[in-house]
Amino acid sequence: MENQTPQEQIDSLKAQVKALSDVFYTNNFTAHQDFNKSCAFNTKLKVPSYSPLPSVCEVGEIVESGGGLYICSSNNSWELVGSQT
């Protein structure tokens, strides 16, 4: 480093810090997703409408059928959670 200009020294140090950072963060991530029990929407929530209800669903899907709001509570099982009456 003695024969390098100050800018060359800075560039060299930046490269060394980046290399150390890359080694530290490589495969050092975990991921998860949290779902809150309540949600607020500032816009419209568009829910698909079916008649009759689909026979296949995944947990968490929301649909409307015959004026009722249904949620898939377990695989292929719909539960009425609200109506338009």
Q: Is residue 1 in some structural domain? A: no
Residue 79 lies in a domain: yes
Answer with the residue of higher pLDDT: 74 or 2.
Answer: 74
Beta carbons within 8 Å of 85's beta carbon, 6+ residues apart: 67
In a domain, 36, yes or no: yes
Any domain includes 56:
yes
Examine residue 47 and state whether it is found in any structural domain, yes or no.
yes
Residue 51 scores a pLDDT above 80 = yes
Residue 70 resides in a domain: yes
| 15 domain-assigned | yes
Spatial separation of the C-alpha atoms in residues 61 and 72, rounded to whole Å? 5
Task: Write down the pTM of the prediction.
Answer: 0.48
State yes or no: pLDDT of 40 exceeds 90: no
| Total domains present in the chain | 1
Helix (H, G, I), strand (E, B) or coil at 78: strand
Provide mean pLDDT across the span 37-53. 80
